[in-house]
Amino acid sequence: MLRALLSLQFGDDVAKALTSLPLLVERRRGKIRYVYTADGERLMTLRPTDFMFTISLRAGEIIRASTRPPFMRVVVRGYEDGDVRGEMVLLADAGIRPGDEVLVVNENDELLAVGKARAPGSLMARLKGQDVVRVREVRRVGQGRNSSEGA
């Protein structure tokens, strides 16, 4: 069931990459609610309102590594923190729809943040002065792939 939901939302390649990991699935009232790595780090949360997953930075990194640009990506310049504004966007996947989970990356395809699209990918760069991605989680300076340990 998990792989089917992931395939529906993200495609088969992403579903395969995510489900190839040892995962722990937490259920509420018999339904999938949270997905964790084997070491307990949250990867995804299933929203009960629309049965779509929200992703964490770790899931974003797995998705980024298992797909080719521009899939699910919003490429930005000058991003530091907060929501992504149209003037920051250099390129966005034309397949992105409002409400989709997206990866905010720099020009080198390094993951900066994950969030939810507020505009279609094909329009993001043209929407100057407007928020185009509501950012949920930001990779902090010095935060790498294995940054769960304190500095």
Residue type at position 125: A
pLDDT band per the 50, 70, 90 thresholds, residue 140: confident
Angle at 84 (CA atoms; ends 42, 102), nearest 5 degrees: 45
- Tell me the pLDDT tens digit for each residue of 33-42: 999 999 999 9
Element (H, E) at 31: strand 31-37
- Tell me the pLDDT tens digit for each residue of 41-100: 999 999 999 999 999 999 999 999 999 999 999 999 999 899 999 999 999 999 999 999
What is the reported pLDDT for 89? Answer: 98
| All structural domains of the chain | 2-65 (3.10.450.90), 68-138 (2.30.130.10)
CB 106 within 8 A of CB 136: no
pLDDT band per the 50, 70, 90 thresholds, residue 144: low
